[in-house]
Amino acid sequence: MKTPPVSRRDILMRGLRVRCPNCGQPGLFRHWFRLRPRCLQCGFKLTRSDGFFLGAMVWNYGLTVFGVLPFILLATILGWLSVTSCIVLCIAAGFIIPCITYPFAWSLWLMSYYLTLPHELPANETELIPTDEDE
């Protein structure tokens, strides 16, 4: 029996839960900082080529710069933090947040890639049915 196609909603939910975009199973990571080359369940290749990791870096940067630093800056503007504390916290966040969010950033990158190109998932590939003209 053929695997049903993976919808964009499935890809979105799998990305938010750090699961394989193809089969939905957990276990994309060997360790916190080590993405597996392939899914343990379906064998789906998780990385494509040199430079594919850059998408995860963009997500990590975005989560840090737009998700954490604005709150530190707002706290400084409101007078809850001194400027020195703000600088120290921003530098610390720049090192710590990417380490904490590394697996999630990878999952978000895989999700965003396959949301735009869902036909590249093996579960969504359609086999060409030969017609009389092909023979």
Q: At residue 9, does pLDDT exceed 90?
A: yes
Provide the pLDDT for residue 84.
96
- What confidence category does residue 133 fall into, taking pLDDT thresholds of 50, 70 and 90? low
Please give the Cα distance from 108 to 93 (Å, whole number).
Answer: 20
- % of the chain exceeding 70 in pLDDT: 90
Q: What pLDDT digit, counting tens, does each position of 75-107 carry?
A: 999 999 999 999 999 999 999 999 999 999 999
Q: How many CB atoms lie within 10 A of CB 59?
A: 22
Q: At residue 134, does pLDDT exceed 80?
A: no
Beta bridge partners of 29: 35
Cα dist from 69 to 51, 52, 65, 82, 93, whole Å? 27, 26, 5, 15, 8
